[in-house]
Amino acid sequence: MEILPQIIVIDFGSQYTQLIVRRLRELGYYARLYNPDQLKDHPTPKGVILSGGPKSVSDPDAPDVDLDYLKQLDVPVLGICYGMQLLNKKHGGTVEPGTTREYGPATLSPENGSDLFEGLSESSQIWMSHSDTCTQLPDGAEIIGRNEDNVPVAIQLSDKFYGIQFHPEVTHSHEGRSVLENFLEMVDDEPGFKIEAFRDHLIEQVRDEVAGREVVCGVSGGVDSTVLAVLLHEAGTKLRAIYVDNGLMRKDETPEVVSQFEELGIDIEVVDASERFLDAIAGVDEPEEKRRRIGDLFVDVFFGAADNVELLAQGTLYPDVIESATSGSIASTIKTHHNRVQKILDLQAEGKVIEPLAELFKDEVRALGESFGIPREILYRHPFPGPGLGVRVPGEVTEEKLKIVREGDAIFIRHLKESGWYDKVWQAYCGLLPIKTVGVKGDERSYEWSVALRAVISEDAMTADWVELPPDLLRKISNEILNSVAGINRVFYDISTKPPASIELE
């Protein structure tokens, strides 16, 4: 049976909309995104949030919502940014273009004792991102918060309808979580999103979808594919878990993955295609062409091993579904780079692709894995890119360069684990810089490669900041790399944020 969301979030295209859903789930309420024209698809929500968006409510093609239907639901409704402006206009107020776009921090001063701001400070930092302004409120509406310039940034339109001009879902709004908690206090329902109950639902769903057919699943040793494989195993499916060694893995990766799945009680088939992959990208130095060749060959190798597929299981997560949808809509699709190959498209058209994790965020996948008893070192392993070390060796990939990166990376990660920094970092690696420099080794000058160490913190990989590792730790890592990895005479530490840099080198 389908688990219906307690809170539905109407997506008007804000860059932060996904975060609203995450925050609500973190607070224990099951939430999903809906396109504005899908509002009536779920007749029994316990609350509704209207997201922000890039449009102006005055635009001819501005997204809309059925206010009469929202009133009939008789549940709390919160409009955020565009959502506030839309509610204000549809209640009879006026929204006009601002003279400048307001983007960044501001200060909220609650007033009139609204339940929405219960327990908030008298002055609280909020995050703004808008250009239009509610210049006139409808009859019966009340201002419940202003900014430092005395401009209304929060309104109460009735006992059920609220609007705020700022984004409570982002961490830059320091008490935004409390605002969402207060909204949920108005909801006539208890927190109901428990991963254990969702696990049982997923197991039943997988059994119903599979219906005794064989399921092929690609595994890499990463969080998503491991949890997916364990879910399929726990559901009692006839599982074929296939691991493709593309020759671009980290040091000792393949035997570690095999051992990992043995401990989980799952047999995996290892396909060693390393020579084919390295031949396919030999001499290629253009990043996208390199990615394309690796991706296409992976599918050729994978489906060459998985002949006569009855069902293919993919580890698509909810953010993949959201990102693949067109602006303002949620479509049951996956990322373009997953869809690129016709074989997968054909299987989808035949109804032979299942995506059991497609309702979950990464942190929820980890929680699901914990409920299955998967070891923490697997669940909190740093992300590893699909093209492997191919994107950590800019330019042409050679065996020499791969060996340098593998050895340097192994040293870096070992020191992070020994020092307790590994779990404080979202992702860390050693990559090769495509330059050679002059150095001195012993009594001779050397002309060798340079490597860059990168360690970042991030929430969703959309943005990232570099980690300030202790200088003594960096010195120790650098010394060991320079003394034990042949072909290296310089070690750099990457202090670039994303944006403008990316997390990976390519």
DSSP assignment string, 405-471:
HHHHHHHHHHHHHHHT-GGG-SEEEEEEEEEEEEEEETTEEEEEEEEEEEEEE-SSSSSBEE----H
Dihedral pair phi/psi, residue 457, rounded to 5°: -115, 140
Return d(Cα 103, Cα 121) in angstroms, integer: 22
Separation of alpha carbons 290 and 278, rounded Å: 11
Residue tagged active-site, from 91, 130, 167, 233:
167
Nearest to 189 by CA among 66, 307, 44: 44
For the question of residue 167 being annotated catalytic, the response is: yes
134 in catalytic set: no
With 0-12 / 13-18 / 19 or more C-beta atoms within 10 angstroms meaning exposed / middle / buried, residue 346 is exposed
Instruction: Considering the candidates 81, 134, 217, 430, report the single residue annotated as catalytic.
Output: 81
With CA atoms as reference, report the closest residue to 98 among 53, 129, 61: 129
Instruction: Taking the CA atoms of 298, 302, 308 and 313 in sequence, report the sign of the dihedral they define.
Output: negative
Q: Are 354 and 211 in contact (CB under 8 A)?
A: no
What dihedral angle (degrees, nearest 10) is formed by the CA atoms of 79, 85, 89, 91? 30
Active site residue 169: yes
Q: How far is CA 240 from CA 38, 164, 258, 275, 306, in A?
A: 37, 50, 14, 24, 8
Taking each helix axis from N to C end, the angle separating 399-419 and 471-484, rounded to the nearest 10 degrees, works out to: 150
Q: Which residues contact 383 (CB under 8 A, 6 or more apart)?
A: 222, 223, 426, 427, 461
Q: Tokens at residue 31, please?
A: 């939430």
Active-site option among 91, 102, 134, 169: 169
Give catalytic residue positions.
81, 167, 169
